[in-house]
C-alpha cells in the first residue's frame, strides 16, 4: 500500500548552491511548511530572504529539496519537488510547494506530478498569476502539457537546477485549449452564474466544485477530506485539453493533505466526500481506484447534485 506520508529528515540541514541552513533552521522551516500546508506567504519570504541574505529567486530554488520531502513515491522511489512563485489578489508574491504522489497497485496514470501539485496548491489557494516554477528535475511531457493549460503558459519561467526555460522552449508546436475552441484557461476560467440546487451541501465543498476548471466535461466537482484533528482538505477538478493530464478532485485534495505532512489512513481521516454535477458524473470510479491503494479508510460518500442558474 502507498506510504502514509512523506519522509521527514529530522537531522539533516538544507545546503545547496542557493542557500545554506543549519539543522535547527531546516527543521523549523519543515514544521512551518506543514503548519501552513505547503505555502510561504509574502511576509515569510521577506523574513527568510533577510535572515539568509538571499534574493527571493535564490530562496525559491534553494527550497526545492524541501518540497521533494513531501513526495509519496512507493512505486518509483523518485522524489520530485516543485515550488510555484505566484502573485495573489493583492499582487504579493507567495511560494506554493508541491511534490509527486503515487499509488500502489493502481494505474500509473493516476499519479500526481510535482508540477501539478504545486500548481494545484497555488490555484486552490487564490493565486492569480504564476511568475516562475522551480523544479528539482526536468518536467516530463505530461507536466508540460498540464502547464500549457495555464493562463500564463507563455510568460512564466521554468527554473531547473542548471538551466532556465520558457514553456515554449520545452513544448514547441503545442496543443492547448484554443485548439478545442476554449478561449478560457486554468487561472482564467469562464465566468458562470450557476449554483447547486441542493441547499444542504457543505458550503465550501459546493464553492470548490463551482470553482473547478471543467470546460470539456462540465462536471463541476470537488472532494472534501475531513480529518479528526487537523481540519478539512479540499480539492477541485482541473481538466486539460489533452484530457489525460487532468487532475481529479480527489488527487487535488490528497496532494493538499500530504503537503500538511499528514498520514492518509483511518487514524487521521474521518470522512471523504465527492460532489459531482448531475448528468456529467465521471469521478466516482477514479476516486475509488485511488482510495483502494490505502488501508482502513472510511467509505467515500458520493453526491450528485443538479446545477441551476442562480
Active-site amino acid positions: 115
And the C-alpha cell for 12? 539533516
Q: Does the annotation place 101 within a ligand binding site?
A: yes
Phi/psi region, residue 183 (left: phi>0; alpha: psi -120 to 50; beta: rest), is: alpha
**Residues in contact with 262: Cβ distance below 8 Å, sequence separation at least 6, in sequence order:** 5, 227, 230, 268
And the C-alpha cell for 99? 511534490
Which residue in this structure is represented by grid cell 466537482?
221
Q: Does the annotation place 102 within a ligand binding site?
A: yes
Q: Does the annotation place 49 within a ligand binding site?
A: no
Q: Does the annotation place 100 within a ligand binding site?
A: yes
Residue numbers belonging to the annotated binding site:
100-102, 113, 140, 143
Residue numbers belonging to the annotated binding site for Zn(2+):
113, 140, 143
Residue numbers belonging to the annotated binding site for substrate:
100-102
Amino acid at each position: 500500500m502507498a506510504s502514509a506520508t512523506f519522509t521527514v529528515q529530522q537531522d539533516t540541514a538544507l545546503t545547496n548552491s542557493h542557500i545554506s541552513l543549519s539543522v535547527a533552521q531546516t527543521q523549523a522551516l519543515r514544521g512551518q511548511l506543514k503548519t501552513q500546508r505547503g505555502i510561504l506567504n509574502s511576509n515569510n519570504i521577506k523574513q527568510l530572504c533577510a535572515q539568509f541574505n538571499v534574493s527571493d529567486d535564490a530562496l525559491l530554488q534553494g527550497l526545492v529539496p524541501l518540497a521533494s520531502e513531501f513526495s509519496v513515491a512507493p512505486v518509483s522511489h523518485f522524489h520530485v519537488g516543485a515550488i510555484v512563485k505566484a502573485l495573489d489578489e493583492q499582487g504579493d508574491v507567495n511560494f506554493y510547494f508541491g511534490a509527486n504522489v503515487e499509488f500502489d497497485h493502481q494505474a500509473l496514470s493516476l499519479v500526481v506530478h510535482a508540477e501539478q501539485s504545486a500548481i494545484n496548491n497555488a490555484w486552490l489557494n487564490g493565486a492569480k498569476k504564476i511568475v516562475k516554477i522551480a523544479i528539482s528535475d526536468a518536467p516530463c511531457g505530461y507536466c508540460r502539457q498540464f502547464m500549457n493549460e495555464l493562463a500564463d503558459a507563455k510568460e512564466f519561467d521554468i527554473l531547473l537546477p542548471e538551466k532556465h526555460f520558457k514553456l515554449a522552449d520545452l513544448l514547441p508546436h503545442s496543443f492547448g485549449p484554443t485548439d478545442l475552441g476554449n478561449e478560457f484557461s486554468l487561472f482564467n476560467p469562464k465566468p458562470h452564474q450557476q449554483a447547486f440546487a441542493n441547499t444542504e451541501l457543505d458550503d465550501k465543498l459546493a464553492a470548490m466544485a463551482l470553482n473547478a476548471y471543467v470546460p470539456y466535461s462540465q462536471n463541476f466537482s470537488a472532494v472534501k477530506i475531513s480529518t479528526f484533528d487537523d481540519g478539512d482538505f479540499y480539492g477541485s477538478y482541473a481538466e486539460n485539453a489533452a484530457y489525460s493530464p487532468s487532475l481529479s478532485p480527489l488527487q487535488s485534495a490528497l496532494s493538499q493533505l500530504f503537503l500538511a505532512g499528514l498520514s492518509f489512513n483511518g487514524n487521521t481521516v474521518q470522512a471523504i466526500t465527492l460532489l459531482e454535477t448531475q448528468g456529467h458524473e465521471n469521478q466516482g470510479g477514479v476516486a475509488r481506484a485511488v482510495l483502494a491503494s490505502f488501508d482502513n479508510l472510511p467509505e467515500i460518500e458520493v453526491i450528485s447534485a443538479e446545477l441551476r442558474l442562480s
